[in-house]
Amino acid sequence: MDGDDAFIAETIRYFRDKGVNVFTWWMEPHLKLSDWEPALSKHGFGFSDDTPGMAVNLHEMSNEIQPADGFEIRSVDDEESLRKWAEVFINGYGLPPNWESIAFDLWMQLGLDFPIRNYLGYLNGKPVSTSTVFYGGGAAGIYCVATLPEARGKGIGAAITLKPLQDAREKGYRIGVLQSSDMGFNVYKKLGFRHLCQIENFYLLLK
């Protein structure tokens, strides 16, 4: 298509100038992947369709979650708790420690209240898990579900996912959605999520 190649090259230059190492190229639903694949692959893009897209009816999800004793969930509503959230999120995903400040700065700019809310889970007073909900398009989207390795296998991941969904239901929302990792897939199924699709996107590793 006319102009596509120049547009792709301009986009790559933009992210390279920003010092980005990898980025994804998402397609709007009405666009055909086959129309864009030749142009994107010419610039080195790979293709991924290995991320399950899941959804749950908030009035039918399971509420029978019993996390470990001493576990509690608090909303992130100030800078101090957001710094703890960023630390747990980065460590829970095994990301580079210097990304903590990047995550903190990003979420401070996004804001600490509706339509985005962050949650921080504490086990015996120590922050060990995170989640985020975004309200938009008539659905509650769950993101950033992470649990520190030493706190896994205690029902904490399920609990930190369930809490924002319960809050969304109280706000009148009916549907919850998320993109699942391999680790979280069975946890989300137990909550009542259904696997509806595979998330598709192109990605580029910048050298």
Task: Choose the weakest-confidence range: 2-16, 123-137, 189-203.
Answer: 2-16
Superfamily of domain 56-198: Gcn5-related N-acetyltransferase (GNAT) (3.40.630.30)
> Is pLDDT of 135 > 80?
yes
- Identify which of 148, 153, 147, 206 has the alpha carbon closest to the alpha carbon of residue 15: 206
pLDDT band for position 1 (cuts 50, 70, 90)? low
pLDDT, tens digit, for every residue of 79-105?
999 999 999 999 999 999 999 999 999
The CA–CA distances, whole Å, from 12 to 43, 102, 110, 138, 149 equal 9, 21, 25, 33, 35
Sign of CA dihedral 200, 153, 72, 122: negative
Domain ranges of the chain: 4-49+200-205, 56-198
- Using DSSP, state whether 36 is helix, strand or coil: helix
